[in-house]
Amino acid sequence: MDWRTAAVDGLALLESEDFDVVVTDLNLGGMSGLELCERVVTNRADIPVVVITAFGSLETAVAAIRAGAYDFITKPFAVEMLALTLGRAVRHRALREEVKRLRRVVAHSRTFGDLLGTSPAMRAVTQLLERVARRTRPCSSPARPEPARSWPHARSTSAVDGRTARSWR
């Protein structure tokens, strides 16, 4: 946990360090909490911002949410309420990071993992296999040679279009 009393100092700290959540008051010296919220959301969209104020109104709460705030808390508040809000914000950030990670895993798993190389020739082979994977269907013909299931391109195209080794039989 770290704190700054000026919004500009807080923004500078966000450039060099990582935080799970930003908590800001609505009324700050130099810039408003809403402007700070907008800047954090613009530069570090992965960090939720909780805005706190003693001057809460429906219009102010709506403005904070429109500025990108994760939540809006009015003073005076119970410490338990703040703890609950911060816990939810941290879990929300963790879930978003997990979604990003899983999307990367899925994107990687849909590539031709058995093939190595990034030369222009290998990229051409990969592109050709992607086109084949999208266009071809499994063949159940007995005329198909049995060893085809073990061909590397058969395993690779299966990974791209979702077919299992059994669908090649």
pTM over 0.85: no
Q: What are phi and psi of 71, to 5 degrees?
A: -155, 165
**Per-position pLDDT tens, the chain of length 169:** 888 878 888 888 888 888 999 999 988 878 888 999 999 999 998 999 999 988 878 888 899 999 999 999 999 999 999 999 999 999 999 999 999 998 887 776 656 666 666 778 887 887 888 788 777 566 555 555 555 445 555 555 555 555 554 444 4
* Residue bearing tokens 């879930």: 95
Peptide bond into 76 cis (omega under 30): yes
Element (H, E) at 145: none
Structural domains of the chain ordered from first start: 7-107 (3.40.50.2300), 112-168 (no CATH)
Q: What pLDDT does residue 83 have?
A: 95
Taking the alpha carbons of 52, 58, 64, 69 in that order, is the dihedral positive or negative? Answer: positive
Is the distance from CB of 10 to CB of 36 less than 8 angstroms? Answer: yes
